Each structure stands twice: as structure tokens, then as C-alpha cells.
Amino acid sequence: MKESASLFIIFSPLIDTTFNFNISTFCFHVIFAAMQNIRHLSYNDIEALFLQIGEKKFRAKQVWEWLWQKNARAFNDMTNLSKELRQKLVEQFSFPALTIETTQYSEDGTIKSRFVTFDGYKVEGVLIPTEERKTVCVSSQVGCSLGCKFCATGFMGRKRNLDFDEIYDEVVLVNQHSEKTFGQKLTNIVFMGMGEPLLNYNNVLKAIERISAEDGLFMSPKRITVSTAGIAKMIKKLGDDKVRFKLALSLHAANDKKRSEIMPINDTNNIQSLTEALNYFYKHTGNEITFEYILFKNFNDSQKDADELVKLYRQIPVDLINIIEYNTIENASFDKPEENVTNCFMEYLASKRVNARLRKSRGKDIDAACGQLANKG
């Protein structure tokens, strides 16, 4: 009975016009979502499809190249296919591709793009250029469910996961922007945008597989970093899956009491469990591990805090600690320490032979810096 009712809502011309949404748009999204996404098919699936409809086998290779190498945005872009074949694909499959809604340019050269999904959700990605690197910071979810107290995305809640092809589109679109603006392709990818990547595990790994595949963007996994707020069992799964990319832990406090205050996830994934998981990850992959540590005034910026950080650093094969400037957001009362406090913190780490670097924020004027992504502007 429920299925019949839902079909009536979608297709009946007698539908109540007092509904406060655009019904034609709603119908399009429902029908479009019901069609199979062609990018969710394997190469073998596409090959079998063409043989089934009497097309030559090599058509599968042509379509595959358009999907993952030539970066078509619609079936009509596939110009070496006949119009008839393109129409068959249009009728049988969906091809939901991200589009760019807005682009903002920071005074420091950072570029923020807001992407729109086929069903109207919005996520942001950031291009961070330097002389040596062109890095894209990508999102993995629409919003985030973890509610970290210093992060604007955490106040949004989680709307849905991004599919792997949507994550792939973020990289493609920003790469095109990098080539157009700077004459250079992307060199690095960091999963440090909206969302917790390890709570969208399969899509993130599939996106990285397509990004690094020879018949994809062919970027080295060693130039990809996945940042996590700390999901211990999923960090171990990364080890079991023997991933080849780098891992960053958003730490921000080196004792459980303080970390739980600002990161609720620590209540179920405490520092001891994360220590064990990170050591497990390193043992099984040998991949680089980084700590991310935002300095908050009068919260985690004392010598005692630095000493706790040093002790934790000694327990895990951490390659680098990124000390990050805090970027102000609405709904949070944190502030960044005075410069002399930050300098003392850094000097103490150096005195203990800790490999640490102070990372200056980029894109603050367009809400593109660490912790600021919230579809503003």
C-alpha cells in the first residue's frame, strides 16, 4: 500500500498543489535517481551491455575513456559515438555529475569552489596553490555528523555521503581550474574538506582507486592524504586493506579529557585506541602518518600540553606534526594564541626533536581555511 501511495505522489496530476516544493523538480530527481548511474558500472559491465545491444566491443573502451579520462559531463559530450547510441545511453542510464555553483578567490591565491550535486546538495572544495604544489582539499560528505566544536562543518550535521564519482568530479573540476589559472595540474589531494572520510569508507577508497588508476587520473596515491577525526576500527581496516595513501589524524589535544571536550568522537575512540590503531596501520602499510593540531588560546597551548603531545608522538611512528592556526567561525568561542605563545610552543617541540611545522592558514577571507567550510559566501 505504501509503494502505491508513493507512486501516486510522484506521478498523479491530481497532486495537492499546496506542497511547498517544486514537484516537477522532485519528479525529475526521483526518476533520475532510479536510473542506474553509468559510472557505477565496471568496464566489463559496459562491455557486456554493448554486446547485448549489438554494438561493437570497442565502444566500451570509448565510453570508459569518456567517463574517467576525457571527463565527459554528459552523454552528448561523447562525440565519437553515434547520436543514436548516445540517445540509447540517455534513455537507459543516469550520468549525475557535479557542477560548480560559485567560485571565490582569496587575496592569498586560494580558490574555493562550491559544487552542487544532481539532487541539489552543496559541498565545497579548495585549491591551495604554492610555487611547488597545487593541492586540492576535497569533501567526502555533505556536512558532518561528528560535531567537533571548532569546525563549521560540524554544526551543519550530515546530509548524506558523496558517491565516489562525485568525489572524483571534485578533483576533476578543481584540476581543470588549476590548469586554467596556473597552467599546472594538481600535484596533491587532501581529504580535509567537509565530512569524515572514514565514515564514507567505500566511496572514499573507490574514488582514490579511480583517481590513481592508469585509466583514471593516474595520480600517485603517495600524493594523497586522508584526514580522520579518529575512527579506530576503520584506521585498522585501512591497514588490512593495505592502502597506499598517507593518513592524518586530527588530534588537537593529547589527553582524553580535553580532546573529548572539543571532539565528541573521542568518547568512543579514545587516544589509547587510536594509538593502537595507528601503530597497526603503520605496521601493515608503512605509510606516512601526520598529526594535525590546532592551537586554541588557553586550552591546548601550554608547555604541559606540548609535553603531552611529545609523549604521544613518541608512541607512534608519526612523520610530522602540523601545528595549525585557529580560524574563527560562528557558534564557537575559541581564539588563537598570541604569537609569542605559539612561538614558545613550537620552540619546545623543537627542543624535544619533534618534527613539527607551523602551518599558516590560507583562504580565511573567503571562509576556505581549515574548519571554515560551511557553504557560506
Locate the DSSP E strands across 15-56. 36-37
Q: Verify whether residue 370 is a known catalytic residue.
A: yes
- Give the separation between CA 98 and CA 95, rounded to whole angstroms: 10
Contact 218, 210 (CB under 8 A): no
Q: Verify whether residue 288 is a known catalytic residue.
A: no
Nearest to 303 by CA among 260, 256, 347, 355: 347
Nearest to 264 by CA among 179, 196, 203, 171: 196
**Which residue shows C-alpha cell 530527481?**
29
124, 166, 196, 292: which one is catalytic?
124
Side-chain-side CA neighbours of residue 313 (13 Å)? 23
- Give the separation between CA 263 and CA 196, rounded to whole angstroms: 12
137, 144, 148, 370: which one is catalytic?
370
- Give the separation between CA 281 and CA 245, rounded to whole angstroms: 11
**Which residue shows C-alpha cell 564557537?**
332
> Which active-site residues does the annotation give?
124, 370
